[in-house]
Amino acid sequence: MKSRVLVVDDDPALAEMLTIVLRGEGFDTAVVGDGTRALPAVRELRPDVVLLDLMLPGMNGIDVCRAIRTESGVPIVMLTAKSDTVDIVLGLESGADDYVVKPFKPKELIARIRARVRRTETEPAEQLAIGDVTIDVPAHQVARAGEPIALTPLEFDLLVALARKPRQVFTREVLLEQVWGYRHAADTRLVNVHVQRLRSKVERDPEHPEVVLTVRGVGYKAGPP
């Protein structure tokens, strides 16, 4: 079954080009030219990946991202012309899983989209725990003391990767490879922001984390089970 990509971009030429490239790679595509129409399109079409341009008329890309996130954990890849840390972090914090800076090499975009779409089909029945946070891996459920916590697929994968090896410290590069699927060095800011996002959802006190711990100068590790 073909994976479906929803393209949210107001530039018709770019949107058309994206469609051509994606179709050539075997994806199904749909295009939305206006931020306000993005959420209804997500509901209706149920895409596997959303490609979201941040500079949009009508609703701003960041707001679109947030809106989609309230309803769905669909992978979102930002397209942005700005590469400043502030802008990247803002986009990631509002719910995007990854970002691509214009102008990009189409191959790079395709690789990132594929990485997001890829799901591991068979997972062993696993129950993991960090502190009083329980993780039901096959059911993709995370709960603290019985109260369920909603995580996006990427946040879930990040938590599971850490929880599987509680005493191991993961560098950002390793996390990028395991969780995002990027074998070549990508932007470690992705990891930083996603850890922050994860913490804000999963920790009792994000300023004093107990579930996802920072190991200064190296990376992150899970708290004790």
Partner 1 sequence: MELAIAWGAVWRRSLQLRVVISTLALSTAVVLVLGFVIQTQIAGNILQAKLDDAQNQIESGAALLERELASVDPNREGAQGELNNALDRLTNSSDASGTPAAGAFRAVLATTAIGANSSVAAGPLEDVPSDLRQSVADGARAVRYGTVDSQGIDVPALMIGQPVRTANGDLEFYLLFPLDSEQRTLGLVQSTLIVGGLVLLLLLAGIASIITRQVVRPVRRAAEIAERFADGHLDERLPVQGEDELARLGESYNEMAGSIQEQIRQLEEFGALQRRFTSDVSHELRTPLTTVRMAADVLYASREELLPALRRSSELLVTELDRFEALLGDLLEISRLDAGVAELGAERTDMHTVVVRAVEHVRGLADETGTPLELELPTGIYADVDPRRVERIVRNLVANAIDHSEAKPVQVVLAADEHAVAVLVRDHGVGLRPGEASLVFNRFWRAEESRARRTGGTGLGLSIAVEDARLHGGWLQAWGVPGEGAVFRLTLPLNEGDVLESSPLPLGPEPDTARRVGTSVPTPPLGFAPVGDGVPAGGAR
Binding stretches for partner 1 (CB under 8 A): 11, 13-14, 16-18, 20-21, 24, 55, 81-82, 84-86, 102-107, 173, 185, 188, 216-217
> Least distance (Å) from partner 1 to the CB of residue 59?
17
Q: Are 76 and 95 in contact (CB under 8 A)?
A: yes
Tell me, what DSSP letter sits at residue 225?
A: -
Half-sphere exposure in the Cβ direction for 47 (13 Å, CA): 26
> Least distance (Å) from partner 1 to the CB of residue 218?
9
> Least distance (Å) from partner 1 to the CB of residue 165?
21
> Least distance (Å) from partner 1 to the CB of residue 28?
18
Class of residue 117 by CB neighbours under 10 A (exposed 0-12, middle 13-18, buried 19+): middle
Q: Are 5 and 15 in contact (CB under 8 A)?
A: no
Which residue's CB is nearer to partner 1, number 50 or number 151? 50
Distance CA 17, CA 217 (A): 42
Backbone angles phi, psi at 66, to 5 degrees: -60, -40
Distance of CA 29 to the CA centre of its chain: 19
Q: Give all strands of the β-sheet with 212-215 in edge-to-edge order.
A: 170-171, 219-222, 212-215
Which residue's CB is nearer to partner 1, number 22 or number 128? 22
Task: Mark out the alpha helices in 3-105 (DSSP H runs).
Answer: 12-24, 38-45, 61-71, 85-93
Which residue's CB is nearer to partner 1, number 17 or number 143? 17
Backbone angles phi, psi at 27, to 5 degrees: -100, 155
> Least distance (Å) from partner 1 to the CB of residue 50?
18
Compute the radius of gyration of the chain from its Cα atoms.
Answer: 17
Which residue's CB is nearer to partner 1, number 63 or number 87? 87
Which residue's CB is nearer to partner 1, number 87 or number 136? 87
> Least distance (Å) from partner 1 to the CB of residue 152?
25
Which residue's CB is nearer to partner 1, number 50 or number 128? 50
